[in-house]
Amino acid sequence: MKKPAYKRIVLKLSGEALQGESGFGVDPKVVASIAEQVKEVREMGVDVACVIGAGNFFRGLQGSKAGMDHATADYIGMLATIMNSLVLQDGLEKLGVHTRVQSAIVIQELAEPYIRRRAIRHLEKGRVVIFGAGTGNPYFTTDTAAALRAMEIGADVILKATKVDGVYTSDPMKDKRAKKYTRLRYIDVLKDRLQVMDATAISLCMDHQLPIVVFNLTKYGNIRRVVLGEPIGTRVS
């Protein structure tokens, strides 16, 4: 059996990934599919941590553009990521996967507070750790949270799950001439303003040489394929 290419990963999921085709909220079938794939990777001996966005419920940036106080809008978004974290936890635990949700803002009835050493200990014990509430600070995205947590726990890679099979020169849904990159340098992502992750997250990864693989989550089994090092998606390094 082929050995995994990574020992410890951070899986970055957008909130939209959980909504499926419904356009809002959570699609239980999609959650079950993601949970099954995470379980499969965990059973290969890979440590798995997850960071989830909140776009299926609320986007802080859109709230601030609509006239809300920016910090308040971002805090509402953080609360929405907690909802998504609990949804994924439920999906995983239905499959018998031991899971812990750690929150960057204190909601002790629902989640543990984020403590780096405790998170690492959970991973060492074979539990999946889901990091909720972003970094706990307004003005920072869940992309930045994923980069920060990945470095704190010593992850080998960030797996950025999207609806397309990598990074393109333009939106492949709108432009048929869009070309896919198989490999990119961090500096090119920043210079060309490619929609991989936000600039803060990319800069963090560049400073610490943490690779990012952007891949298509909608194709079942792709998480396992990426973890095994198969050449799918786009690798930023």
8-236, CATH topology level: Carbamate kinase (3.40.1160)
Compute the distance between CA of residue 102 and CA of residue 133 in angstroms, rounded to an integer.
Answer: 9
Give the whole-number percent of the chain exceeding pLDDT 70: 100
pLDDT in tens, 98-123: 999 999 999 999 999 999 999 999 99
Predicted confidence band of residue 32 (pLDDT cuts 50, 70, 90): very high
Secondary structure E strands in the chain: 8-13, 47-52, 99-103, 112-113, 128-132, 157-162, 167-168, 180-181, 183-184, 212-216, 234-236
Domain residue extents for the chain = 8-236
pLDDT in tens, 163-221: 889 999 888 888 888 899 999 999 999 999 998 899 999 999 999 999 999 999 999 99
Compute the distance between CA of residue 162 and CA of residue 64 in angstroms, rounded to an integer.
Answer: 24
The confidence score (pLDDT) of residue 63 equals 73
Its pTM stands at 0.95
- Ramachandran bin of 233, using left for φ above 0, alpha for ψ from -120 to 50, beta for the remaining angles: left
Buried b (16+ CB within 10 A) or exposed e, 168-195: beeebeeeeeeeebeebebeebeeeebe
The confidence score (pLDDT) of residue 174 equals 85
